[in-house]
Chains A and B, each alone.
Chain A
Amino acid sequence: MASQAAVDKHRVTAVLVSHNGAVWLPEVVAALTSQTRPIDLITAVDTGSQDASTKLLKSARIPFVSADVETGFGQAISLAVNKLPKAVENEWIWLIHDDCAPAPTALAELLAAVNDRPQVVMVGPKLLGWHDRTHLLEAGVSIAGNGARWTGLEPLEYDQGQHDGNHDVLAVSTAGALIRREVFEELGGLDPKLTLFRDDVDFGWRARAAGHSVMVATGAVAFHAQASANERRTVEVEGAFLHRPLLLDRRNAAYVLLSNSSWWILPWLVIQLLGTAIARAIGYLIAKLPGYAADEILAVGSLIVRPGLIIAARKVRKKQRFVSARVIAEFIPPRWSQIRLALEGVVDAVRAKLFPENNQVSTTSVLDTNDDEDLLTPVNSNHWFGVFKRPEVIGFILISLISLLNSRNRFGALVGGALPISPAGATDLWRTYFESWHQVGMGSTVATPTWVAITATASLFFLGKVQFLITIFFLVAPILMMFSASKLLKRLTGNTWISIPAAFLYAVSPVAIAAVSTGHIATVLFMILAPLVALLLSDIENIESFTWRKIAGVSLLLALLYGFSLMIFVIGLAAGIISTLSDYGKHAQEANAALYSLRFQKRVALIFVPFILNIPYSLETFTHPSRLLVEPGLLIPGGGPIHALLGNPGGANSLPIWLVSPILLVLIVSLFSSTHARQIAEYGVTALVLAVVVSALSISTHGNEASSKVWPGPVLVLVTLAAVAAGTVLLDRLRETLVLSHIHYRHILSALLLFTTFIYSVLAVGWSVTKGADSLVQANQETVMPAFLSVEKDVKILVLREVGSKNDKKIQYYLSRGKDISLGEPDVAPTQTVAIADAARGLIDGSGVTSSSTLSDFGVKYLYVKAPFKKEIIRSIDGIGGFSRTSATSLGVVWKVTAPASRLMFVGADGVRKELEAGEVGARTFVPSAGTLILTETYNRSWQVLENGYRLDRNKSEQGLPTFTVTEPGEISLIHDGTIRRGWLSLQLILLVIVLVMALPAGRRKSEISERELA
């Protein structure tokens, strides 16, 4: 045999290093002694084992050297080699870990591989798992640019021989590595600085730089427990901070890269290492493994602050180098393959989460199958048609068609109703969210609501096209509503012929139709998510059993909803108060203080954590309580209590009041049910009561001075959901009851309920696809402001417009900044300045002889009367004076205020007012002399003007405008200091991260992972 002949010419000394490896050592010793090619000499080094390792070595008659507990692996090997007899030709050192058992033919295969390859100085076996011996651990190893240990294998890759063969590699693991002794000694052995981990890659790299070859011979197999890496034993070596090997591994990885790489790529490597360390640290923090996160940073940091180590190591390697360090370039994994592997890992993880493997074993025996019978059964080729008989398919096709027909005027950039025009890009929304000063009306510092940031984030999935996002959102909203409702209802009934029509009814409910037609984003979103919230909180009665992680997760979902409308906080608060009062009564009977305290704590967390996550916007409610009752966008009034009682929010574009939905009827009937429907109906009735009361309230906010009735959409969502759920439960049990009983009132009531529901569905769908399509929200509507008025940057224009129906017209006004309002702006609109309100009133009734000067004082440059408008009023304005007409087109009439008016005015010593150039928020301009600078924006303490590095004195004018005293001519800078806003946003981000981390599944240390899982 050729291999036996080859074996004969080699001398092999196995060096076994043990450290608390008694668990694995017996098998390792047995493996060594059972090699088909006997080992010429076995020696061992024990590094301060506390277990029975030394006893085992003794009993196996293996001579060993005892070393200090902090002795590294490389040092231990050198210790053993130094004690060996003088080297002979073809002498090999076989490095054996105490947790690595080579297969009986391993040595023979290794020697066979190097027999005809004299250039090979290091050869290693294929490493398989200790417990799962089909788990491929390594077949050669390399290092990635970011320091990751690179095996080129997938996680838990099954060994099917797919990587078999003898291959050149950068390095092989020291576990089972066969190294030519003369080269080992020539290169100084394993680097003593690498006490554990990465010493193999380093040696391989050095060997290759010295002109040698390294290869893996997969014919040789060893089984490796990776005890240190998997934290199966404590690592006591120097630098293994807190006994965690990760720090050592990461530090050594950086050491290897920085010591061996060409000098000119070192800066890039440092950046890569730092970046990777930070990214991985964040990942570990999210996984709630702060120790690992600290290890990542400390590992790289501790090395960078001690450059002497690297310099010394590079000097050594320079002496040993025979060829360029770049000789190993072919073994460094390309970045794309690292990314691909990472992405595959993520995809697999997501797939596993979404589609868990069905581990159920089929109970059908193969014996049950009759092959002959199969052949005789006629093949039905029309199975696919059966799909269309399933209620899910029918229901979703129907709702999709209805949504398409209803949305036929909504393909494009949506605007109208509560919905202002969306900005073109997400960056505009982000700017609105981050800015401390909003150029709306006379300007405001109101905190932008969180929904703006959420929408901006969501638009990333649509390449930052906010308009596209909004259009798609309203188009698919009914389908999503039905989908989420069906998810919930399937929990209540197994009969899809009940759950799917019920989900359909939910999607065509009065509140759903009205919310889509009027652009109430919050109600639409709540309709989609409410069933999912209900699913998550289905066992809210046992809130004490909720884990804090679940509380954090639900809080995040609720925070998203609060971010759109704080009315959902009001709902939660009301529910919390009722539940707490109920608990108080139970506690009086049971006297279980610990239980009820826990329930209270969790309930409070569930209600208030989302509220806190929405600061600073949510804090605005303390100064403006009306914000608790509004939705994003413009204030569209609801229809009042009677509408609300019927489950219809009312107001413009809602279903007519004669089109009565069966919501109230279902709830009342369910109240008398003896099933679970009764409990659901009680929730629904409570929500209905809240809706009725809320809809009777009138508020003025979001830039609307007049009181308007509250839109009760979000509360009615719960009412609708409760009615649909109660009806589902009722029907689920009803059929059996009715079949078994004689005709009585239940039969009549059921027939009435079903008939009403059917009639409602038909009429509601009919209305939705006909009249409902001409909704307030339409695509591509003409703008209010003519284009020529937006040419001047940040000009203020007083706009007058006649609105309302033909018989109920009303004149309204507002200050425009040259363009129509945009998404998010109504939410931060300030209340109107009294002086401007008086000036506008004067224009209308013809008494405003001072209107022009007032508007000039506030920097209003133009007056625009949007057509159609009463000619008498136009004549009245013509007659008032102080205005000069600049245009009269079919769009409307524009006057220019004749007195100087601009955003930044300067009044010199002579009292003459001059216009100064000003940017959108900040400005940099020149002041000609000493005087007073007037900023025609609402007074705010964050307005600052700097001249020569000093702040100018700020005062408040009679009109409530900020003024600054200029003492000398020169260049000035106007800024709005956004520090406070940034502070609040930072706090919000920190809170969000904390709750997010709490909600995410916790990572486990390797020591906490079972052997089975590791395998």
Chain B
Amino acid sequence: MNFSRPLRFIAFIVAAITIASALNVAVTKKSYSENYPAVVCPPTLSGLSSQISLSSKKTQFQRLQNKSKKTESVKVLRLPVMKDSLLFDAQGSTPVVWQSKAGSWAGGALCSGPASSQWFVGASADITTKGRLIIVNSGLSDAVVDVNIFTENGKQPLRTFNVLSKNYLVIPVDSLAPGDKTLAVNVVPRSGRINSFMIDEQGKGLRALGGDLVNPTTLPSKVVIIPAIPNQGKKPGQGAAPEHVLRVLTPGDVDSSVTVELLSADGVFIPVGLNSRSISAGLVTEFTFSPKISSSAFAVKITSTEPVVAAVESSVAIGGGKDFTWSTGAPELSEFTIAVTGLTPLVVFAGSEINVAVEVALVNGKSIRKAIKGTDVATWRVPAEARSFTITKVGKQTYAGALVSSVNGYGYFPIAPGSVLTRIEIPDSNIRILNP
């Protein structure tokens, strides 16, 4: 049999495959648009003063209530803010706002991008409160925001607010659940580019009892790590060690069982009475504990059978006055940059195996590197001349928070990115989407 003709056809197939392979270029290549959403810093309310720490003088900003869409450079590394909420194009570096009331309190918070849900565990709606919930709409359209309020008496009726475009709304906290002592607030925007902030300020008559900016968390979780809780310890002449109050809420419909583990340089233990404590669903519950440890800061790990939100209120003494801080849960540490100009925070890392590398950018343009290692808890004081530091390497299951002390008070903020790199695929036009 003559095989030449069949073989020619087979060669023909091989040639076709070769040609097809050459033609078969990758057609499914996607195009992406990557950017960091602009972050929003809270407005400076009457009687307060604010400074925003920035990592670059070239950081572009825009005043929220300015109708012009033009942005301008900050030209400083620590920007004092008189009134308006500001919108920063920080490009991956998270600015930190430090607010204070002269001689009364101070607190820090992260400037952040818009959020779909924010939980504030802190503040009180009783007679002593002067707290406020600030809802900022940085979008160009009006926004509708739902506010869910939980107290020791359970879930309160839903409150809905309309926030005008490029504007903010200040809601007195005591109007949310008048008379209730323990609050947890969930802000959920129905529409709009929304950020919320909470100021917890307490006073009894003319006597200030301190205050703080309550940092938000995004989602309830079965494991909550609060990485930095100040612990001033018992001072000479002081009757008892300062107390810490753990506030916990199970927002779901099922009761939870909560165990609190305390992580400190002195060891890891469960404080008395905080093992397997039952928490009723929907009720804000508080536990007081007073650990006898020598560390100036510690962390807690809350493990629950149901997702919970939690925060720890710690009383601190500054100068001759009193203040308190709300230490809130922090997300797992990732690689990012945070601006800390002028703050000199004490950063507390928590985790079973802490292995973090940081690069500190100094105001003089130089940078230094630092490696932080440890078990359970490790602390690192950021140099005074630092303008920002970048987490360049981090192990798994590591969390961090920062404690800042100033003449007016004591504050906490989680070490977390205010805005994350958003990678959005550039869309295609395709009529197919009009077909089921």
Give A contacts to B, CB under 8 Å: 415-416, 419-421, 440-441, 634-635, 640-641, 644-645, 668, 671-672, 674, 678, 681-682, 685-686, 688-689, 692-693, 695-698, 702-709, 778, 781-785, 799-801, 803, 809-814, 816, 820-821, 825-826, 829, 832, 836-837, 840-841, 844-847, 849, 866, 871-876, 878-885, 888, 893
Contact = CB atoms under 8 A, between A and B. Distances in A.
Contact of B434 (A685, A816, A847): A816
A33 to B, nearest CB: 81
Contacts of B372: none
A812 B432 CA distance: 9
B102 interface: no
B19 A693 contact: yes
A671 B10 contact: yes
Interface in B11-68: 12-13, 15-17, 19-25, 27, 30, 33, 35, 37
Contact of B426 (A645, A709, A844, A881): A844
A781 B189 contact: no
B432 A783 contact: no
A707 B428 CA distance: 10
Residue of B19, B138, B193 most packed against chain A (CB within 10 A)? B193
Residue of B13, B25, B143, B192 most packed against chain A (CB within 10 A)? B13
Residue of B6, B30, B190 most packed against chain A (CB within 10 A)? B6
B194 interface: yes
Given A686-B9, A803-B432, 6 more contacts: A416-B435, A810-B30, A814-B432, A875-B191, A876-B37, A880-B141
B13 A641 contact: no
B426 A879 contact: no
A441 B21 CA distance: 35
B318 to A, nearest CB: 38
A641 B13 CA distance: 11
Chain B interface main SS type: mixed
Contacts of A674: 1
Residue of B37, B193, B431 most packed against chain A (CB within 10 A)? B431
A463 to B, nearest CB: 25
B116 interface: yes
B435 A810 contact: no
A368 to B, nearest CB: 49
B433 A879 contact: no
A884 B19 contact: no
A140 to B, nearest CB: 66
Contact of A872 (B9, B23, B24, B422): B422
A871 B21 contact: no
Contact of A703 (B17, B35, B432): B432
A877 to B, nearest CB: 8
Nearest to B166: A881
Given A685-B12, A703-B432, A810-B30, A800 B427 contact: yes
B94 interface: no
A540 to B, nearest CB: 19
B315 to A, nearest CB: 37
B351 interface: no
* Size band of the interface chain B makes with A: 35 or more
Contacts of B253: none
Given A415-B436, A634-B435, A705-B428, A671 B19 contact: no
12 contacts: A441-B431, A641-B17, A705-B429, A706-B27, A709-B27, A799-B434, A812-B428, A814-B431, A820-B434, A820-B436, A826-B431, A832-B429
A693 B12 CA distance: 12
B139 A880 contact: yes
B114 interface: yes
Given A692-B13, A841-B426, A845-B424, A813 B143 contact: no
Ranked 10 nearest A-B pairs via Cβ: A881-B140, A879-B139, A703-B431, A879-B193, A696-B20, A641-B20, A832-B429, A671-B6, A781-B436, A696-B23
Contacts of B25: 698
Nearest to B142: A884
A878 B192 contact: yes
B430 interface: yes
A801 B12 contact: no
Interface in B117-140: 138-140
Contacts of A416: 435-436
Contact of A706 (B5, B10, B142, B430): B430
Given A682-B9, A846-B35, A882-B140, A814 B16 contact: no
Interface of B: 1, 3, 5-6, 9-10, 12-13, 15-17, 19-25, 27, 30, 33, 35, 37, 69, 114, 116, 138-144, 165, 189-194, 422, 424-436
A745 to B, nearest CB: 12
A801 B13 contact: no
Nearest to B34: A845
A814 B140 CA distance: 24
A698 B141 CA distance: 41
A784 B434 contact: yes
Contacts of A689: 12-13, 15-16
Contacts of A696: 19-24
Given A696-B23, A849-B69, A881-B165, A421 B429 contact: no
A126 B19 CA distance: 80
Contacts of A704: 428-432
Given A878-B143, A879-B139, A421 B16 contact: no
B194 A693 contact: no
A440 B194 CA distance: 36
A703 B140 contact: no
A782 B9 contact: no
Contacts of B426: 841, 844-845
A841 B33 contact: yes
Nearest to B139: A879
A893 B189 CA distance: 14
Given A672-B3, A689-B16, A841-B33, A641 B21 contact: yes
Contacts of B6: 668, 671-672, 678
A940 B200 CA distance: 64
A878 B141 contact: yes
A635 B427 contact: no
A871 B422 CA distance: 12
Contacts of B194: 875
A812 B436 contact: no
Residue of A799, A821, A826, A879 most packed against chain B (CB within 10 A)? A879
A888 B190 contact: yes
Contacts of B436: 415-416, 421, 778, 781-784, 820
A780 to B, nearest CB: 10
B81 to A, nearest CB: 21
B398 to A, nearest CB: 26
Given A811-B427, A832-B429, A672 B143 contact: no
A422 to B, nearest CB: 12
B30 to A, nearest CB: 7
B429 A812 contact: yes
A821 B138 contact: no
A873 B140 contact: no
B10 A840 contact: no
Contacts of A820: 434-436
A866 B433 contact: yes
B35 A871 contact: no
Contacts of B165: 881
A829 B140 CA distance: 33
A432 to B, nearest CB: 15
A956 B433 CA distance: 30
B189 A829 contact: no
B23 A697 contact: yes
Contacts of A415: 435-436
Contacts of B3: 672
B137 to A, nearest CB: 8
Nearest to A691: B16
A682 B12 CA distance: 11
B142 A829 contact: no
Contacts of B191: 874-875, 878, 885, 888, 893
Nearest to A441: B431
